[in-house]
Amino acid sequence: MKAHDFLTIRDITKEEMHETFAIARDMKADRSKYAEALKGKSLALIFEKPSLRTRTSFDIGIQQLGGFSLYLSPNEISLGKRESVYDVAKNLERMVQGVMIRTFAHQIVIDFAKHASIPVINGLTDYSHPCQAMADFLTILEKKKKLEGLKVAYVGDGNNVAHSLMFAGARLGVHVSVVCPPDFEPNAVAMQQAVEDAKATGAVIEIVHDPVAGVKNADVIYTDTWASMGQESEAEARKKIFHPYQVNAALMSHAKSDALFMHCLPAHRGDEVTDEVIDSKQSVVFDEAENRLHVQKAIMYQLMKNVK
């Protein structure tokens, strides 16, 4: 990667994405080849949002590359509150070789990367979830043997996951339909950027409000929870609005017969997806989760290998 940091899919090119996929697949095939790739190097893990997959995949991933991690909880840092983002960045750049941040406001990772001389990886913000999208498209590539020309129908809230899927699809030539209720569309700037990026690959990035129309001829149906972290107070109201967008067997029947089902997890079974779908042969949610480990190892390797 030419980029110093990985804050959004738009930081890297189509060619760099495919290079990352290739490294991730190589790591997945033979872990021993990279067992000392980041020997002695340390990664600070800043968590202001809890996580199963992000915590485990980064923690285990850096160890499998020969490095080690330091977990920093909200109680220890509280970015911008207990201590300024600038001061935290300036402290950590002298002690570790990379930082992963999982937080709320996207501006925090932007500011942190601006002030830190070491690589910064976005583990999730309210705006973007780039590592998830990289794992998603790696999974699709493994299952479908190609990416360009496929259609991904994302069904649900136009959130951070939707943004990253749009950015990745635009880069890779994958059509992405965001199927959502009115007033729950993706961020307007994110949509504009994705549509602009898609001109180079011919991908179609669109918003569709009709669930059946949105998933028609889809190669992949993807969903996420209806209320993200920080939106718990809206959960009950959102259930009523999003119920017609539940991914169930009836909705899956309108996609291609061999369509994959994907979910970034955690899943609220019975809400955005039924057990019948998430536990079906079409579901690849656990392959997708595993690929977080492999793709993030590839990202850490590319960004951190030359850091002293």
Which of 97, 132, 296, 302 is catalytic? The answer is 132
131 is annotated as an active-site residue: no
Same domain, 278 and 160: yes
pLDDT of 118 > 80? The answer is yes
Closest CA to 221 of 245, 243, 248, 252: 252
Q: 141 with 268, same domain?
A: yes
In a domain, 2, yes or no: no
Whether 132 sits among the annotated catalytic residues: the reply is yes
101/235 same-domain check: no
Question: Facing residues of 221 across strands?
Answer: 153, 261
Residue 81 has pLDDT above 90, yes or no: no
Does the pLDDT at position 225 exceed 80? yes
pLDDT at residue number 84: 93
**Does residue 219 fall inside a structural domain?**
yes
4 lies in some domain: no
**Is 1 a domain residue?**
no
Q: What percent of the chain has pLDDT over 90?
A: 92
Q: Are residues 151 and 57 in the same domain?
A: no
Judgement on whether residues 174 and 121 belong to the same structural domain of the protein: no
Catalytic member of 53, 102, 175, 238:
102
Active site residue 102: yes
Look up the CATH number of the domain holding residue 107: 3.40.50.1370
Q: Is the peptide bond before 266 cis (omega within 30 degrees of 0)?
A: yes
The 3-state DSSP composition of the chain as helix, strand, coil percent (nearest 5) reads: 45, 15, 40
On the CB side of 45, CA atoms within 13 Å amount to 22
Query: 124 and 161 share a domain?
Result: no
Q: Note down the domain range covering 140.
A: 132-286
Q: Is residue 187 part of a domain?
A: yes
Q: Is residue 205 part of a domain?
A: yes
Residues 32 and 104 in one domain: yes
The catalytically annotated residue of 224, 294, 296, 302 is 224
Asked, for residue 158, whether it belongs to a domain, the answer is yes
Same domain flag for 160 and 261: yes
Q: What pLDDT, on a 0 to 100 scale, did the predictor assign at position 139?
A: 99
- Both 165 and 265 in a single domain? yes
pLDDT band at 282 (very low <50, low <70, confident <90, very high): very high
Residues 296, 157 within the same domain: no
Taking phi over 0 as left and psi of -120 to 50 as alpha, with beta for the rest, 121 belongs to beta
Where are the extended beta strands (E) located within 109-209?
120-124, 151-155, 175-179, 205-208
Please tell me the total count of domains within the chain.
2
Q: Tell me whether residue 106 is one of the annotated catalytic residues.
A: no
pLDDT in tens, 256-276: 999 999 999 999 999 999 999
What confidence category does residue 141 fall into, taking pLDDT thresholds of 50, 70 and 90? very high
**What is the tens place of the pLDDT at every residue in 23-44?**
999 999 999 999 999 999 999 9
Could you confirm whether 115 is annotated as catalytic? no
Q: Of 181, 147, 125, whose CA–CA distance to 8 is shortest?
A: 125
The answer to whether residue 298 sits within a structural domain is yes
Same domain, 32 and 20: yes
Q: Check residue 213 and report its DSSP letter.
A: H
Q: Are residues 228 and 190 in the same domain?
A: yes
